[in-house]
Amino acid sequence: MLDHLHIKKLAADAGFDLCGIAPCRHLAENESYFREWLSNGYQSSLDYMERNTEKRFDPRLLVEHARTAVVCAVSYKNRISEGYPPQHRAKVASYACAADYHTTIRTMLIRMLDALRAAYPGLSGRAFVDTAPLAEKQLAVEAGLGWVGRQSLLVTPRFGTFVLLGELILTDETDLYDTPTRTSRCGTCHNCIDNCPTGAVTPDRTIDTGRCISCHTIEKEPAAGISLHGWIFGCDCCQNTCPYNTRTPLHRNTAFDPVFDPLAMDAAAWLEMDDAAFEALCAHTPLTRSGLARIKGNVRE
């Protein structure tokens, strides 16, 4: 049986700010909500969301003999997370200004998993970082890290929504599991709904991706066009207006330091950039997912 304190120490040593532990089970209620979201067509162009629904809400279908989900979160809040001047027309979501979190967090998780395997030779498990059908926000709620806010993001009491998640799905049980967060603390606040410039935040704590600026700037673009409101990669609007983000500290893990400053770059700077300059500036960031040509197209919107 795994020692929960040992797991949490390994998470802190690896650079995570939060760690919660939950038993693996079928999240039937969340699956029902998700199927309703699909039936409403809110996935728009995100066809991959329609696949592997059963696996998404039951980690035991992703890892044979899975017993325990270790959910880790790390703050990435930086100066850019605090918003842009109204006239700025080349806005980049603050998470995307640092090195690609998929690589960074996976390295942190593998460090934890290797240490656990050394301590428990019979242990098996897998690390996940937003690249497999796993309902990570719901698992974070089960692990007591926070609740899902009206903008559909995980809200943590200490770090707000500016957190990135990673999970270990393990085949052993632990001596203690964390208490799930059963209630939302959003109260009567509707800031994220009221301040989404395209109306993408729906009243039922989900996102209509067909209206979402992030989807239009990063993913396979939905058929219906929208105004990007100056965003060229991602969007932080629903986070910038969340009260839980106003007093949260800046990130501590230096692996999430921004590698460029979009506040210092106007639209012309992006339009004048060539491939070599883009590679030098953004090679290790999430912006490579869109590529320079698409980013220039977003600037021209």
Residue 254's pLDDT is what? 98
| pTM of the shown model | 0.95
The count of other CB atoms within 10 Å of the CB of residue 189 is 15
**Pairing relationship of beta strands 91-92 and 231-233 according to DSSP bridges:** parallel
DSSP letters, 145-208, are S-EE-TTSSEEBTTTBT-EEEEEEEESS-BS--PPP--S---TT--HHHHH-TT--B-TTS-B-
Residue 224's pLDDT is what? 83
d(CA 125, CA 114): 10
Per-residue pLDDT of the chain (301 residues; tens, 9 = 90+): 999 999 999 999 999 999 999 999 999 999 999 999 999 999 999 999 999 999 999 999 999 999 999 999 999 999 999 999 999 999 999 999 999 999 999 999 999 999 999 999 999 999 999 989 999 999 999 999 999 999 999 999 999 999 999 999 999 999 999 999 999 999 999 999 999 999 999 999 999 999 999 999 999 988 888 999 999 999 999 999 999 999 899 999 999 999 999 999 999 999 999 999 999 999 999 999 999 999 999 999 8
Residue 110's pLDDT is what? 98
Strands (DSSP E) found in 17-145: 18-23, 68-75, 91-92, 125-128
- Is residue 100 flagged as an active site residue? no
In angstroms, the first-to-last Cα distance of the chain is 55
For the chain, domain boundaries: 4-300
| 142 in Cβ contact with 111 (< 8 Å) | no
Which entry of 3, 130, 172, 266 is annotated as an active-site residue?
Answer: 130
DSSP letters, 201-235, are B-TTS-B-TTT-HHHHHHSSPPSS----TTEEE--
Coil, helix or strand for 121?
A: coil
